[in-house]
Structure 1
Amino acid sequence: MKLLRFGLPGAEKPGILDHEGTIRDLSSVIPDLSGATISRYGLEVLRKVDLKTLPAVAAHTRLGAPIANVRHFIAVGLNYVDHALETDTPIPNEPVIFSKAPSCIVGPNDNIIIPKNSSKLDWEAEIAVVIGEAAYDISEAQALAAVAGYLICHDVSERDFQINRGGQWIKGKSAPTFGPLGPWLVTSDEIENPQQLNVSLRVNGVTMQAGTTAKMIFSIAHVVSYISKFMALEPGDIITTGTPHGVGLGKKPPLFLQPNDVVEISIDGLGSQRQVVVSRLTAHQRQLA
């Protein structure tokens, strides 16, 4: 299944993509897509719904982030050898874990707003997992059974905040709009092997990242198991698993996002995203319009 949320920001409804590519409104079946509705049991309930009985949603309706009320937005850094090398960073012996503020989450095609004092706005295309079952201290063999599904995450990053402002990376990873998710959550049964997916990112039509999840240092199963050793994962938690090479920081000379730049991300089986980079002033003007 491809599960999604649609509608205006803050008023999204749950939906599902049918076999013809039409969005169907799930709000008569469930109140929203969140940790409470994406458990193994919850997904079985949705699989039994006759989609033809659900109202169709108008084409080009805005898509929100596929999961509501995210409590933990966890990220893995330096999880591809070539990305570690391009940023001149030692290859880690254990997964590098940090957080993104859940308040940074937006829809897959929403604008990226440049924060105040930003000078090094960067891109990172990633595959993320959504936890569907409570998981604490689970083995690697058990890990993927706790995953409800997969989605695209754009781990937008402000490198000056991240690298030069001290402390944890969360400073450079958490501004509003720094977490586009979607377009939909693809349930685990539709992804035969999450370690064999191509990841690509383009800026203004130019390919910047072209990688594969096969080149992860730590597999998705390993990452989920590893994180569960340190915290109890809950349904609805999101783990984004790192980016391949090709980020702006790694270019020679470095290349960073500017107003009006267009970023497009695609991952096999998970769909695509498109964002326009805008200034804070432009975003404010649009809110007043």
Structure 2
Amino acid sequence: MKFARVSNGYGYATARIQGGVAYPCEDWRTGDPARDSFVPPTLDPASAQNAAAIPLSELSFLPPIGGSNKLICLGLNYRDHVSEVGNENVSPYPSLFTKFPDTMVGAGSPIVRPTVSDAFDYEGEIAIVIGKGGRHIRKSEALSHLFGFTILMDGSVRDYQGHSVTAGKCFYASGSVGPWIVTSDEIPDYRKLTLKTRLNGEEVQSSVVENMIYDIPTAIEYISRWTPLAPGDVISTGTPAGVGFARTPQLYIKPGDLVEVEVSSIGVLANTAVAEA
């Protein structure tokens, strides 16, 4: 099944998505969804089927992460990306950074190129959403803690990243996530997932999950050693080669550009860039 957080302009709710239609799984909530957490719904097709059907054309997508959810990202997790940035020393442990929830917008919302930099880069990624929390999760049990898979575009401001990873990765509304979460039972072998990123229709990244250095169970085991994982927490699994700053000439996102990240069995996350007001 597919689940998303959607807005009708007056409130927001978690909904099951099927065939261009949303079936809300809860009453519509008001307030700021960025301050609320995303709680994975129970997988109950019978109860979900009783909800009123709303065409997706009448709704907008919100990120499936809220203010109390963790968003943890793996860096340098594809060998070809490690090579293109000139770092051939692969650590036995994954490199991690965090992103603030307000760095993320939903599918279809504009991503913002900041006024202080022209070096606004794309990174297409596959992300996982935790369904069952835990601490010190064994690698052999890690996949049982998954709720599902989604898509993330890690917008990176490269010059700021050069002197502060936190700053370069956490500019407001610089990235996106969604449009929905596909539950893990719909993806029997995540290692076969393929990822493609397009900038204005031109393919700039392409890879398969099997090319990851640290697989998803390894990431869950390592991260849960130092922080408890809770339902709704998101782990983004890194980006493959083809990023803009490693190209000659460099290729950065400009206002008006369309960035699309497509993952097999999940869908397409599409956002247009705008200049910061």
Q: For 2:126, give the aligned amino acid.
A: I
- Cα-Cα RMSD: 2.1
1:284 aligns with none
Q: CA deviation at 1:140?
A: 0.7
Q: 1:109 to 1:91 in 2, by over 3 A?
A: farther
Q: CA deviation at 1:15?
A: 0.9
Instruction: Give the number of the structure whose residues are more often strand, by fraction.
Output: 2
Q: CA deviation at 1:203?
A: 0.5
Q: 1:176 to 1:8 in 2, by over 3 A?
A: farther
1:78 aligns with 76
8 Å contact kept, 2:193–2:209: yes
Q: For 2:13, give the aligned amino acid.
A: K
8 Å contact kept, 1:112–1:275: yes
CA distance in 2, matches of 1:269, 1:91: 33
2:54 aligns with 57
The reply to whether residue 229 of structure 1 matches residue 225 of structure 2 is yes
Q: For 2:81, give the aligned amino acid.
A: H
TM-score (norm 1): 0.87
Which runs of structure 2 are paired with 1:116-135 in the superposition (5 Å)?
116-135=115-134
SS of equivalent residue, structure 1 residue 48? helix
The reply to whether residue 244 of structure 1 matches residue 240 of structure 2 is yes
CA distance in 2, matches of 1:36, 1:7: 14
8 Å contact kept, 1:109–1:180: no
TM-score (norm 2): 0.91
Stretch deviating more after TM superposition (213-222 or 176-185): 176-185
Stretch deviating more after TM superposition (228-237 or 152-161): 228-237
Q: CA deviation at 1:222?
A: 0.7
1:17 aligns with 17
1:286 aligns with none
1:199 aligns with 195
SS of equivalent residue, structure 1 residue 76? strand
2:179 aligns with 183
CA distance in 1, matches of 2:229, 2:151: 20
CA distance in 2, matches of 1:37, 1:141: 24
Q: For 1:4, give the aligned amino acid.
A: A
Instruction: State the number of aligned residues.
Output: 271
- Cα deviation 1:193-250 (Å, max 9, x = unaligned): 1111110011011100111111000101111111111211111111101001111011
Q: CA deviation at 1:68?
A: 3.5
- Cα deviation 1:58-96 (Å, max 9, x = unaligned): 332211113444421100000000001111123431100
SS of equivalent residue, structure 1 residue 232? coil
1:285 aligns with none
Q: CA deviation at 1:119?
A: 2.1
CA distance in 1, matches of 2:77, 2:220: 13
2:213 aligns with 217
Q: CA deviation at 1:10?
A: 8.6
Q: For 2:84, give the aligned amino acid.
A: E
The reply to whether residue 6 of structure 1 matches residue 6 of structure 2 is yes
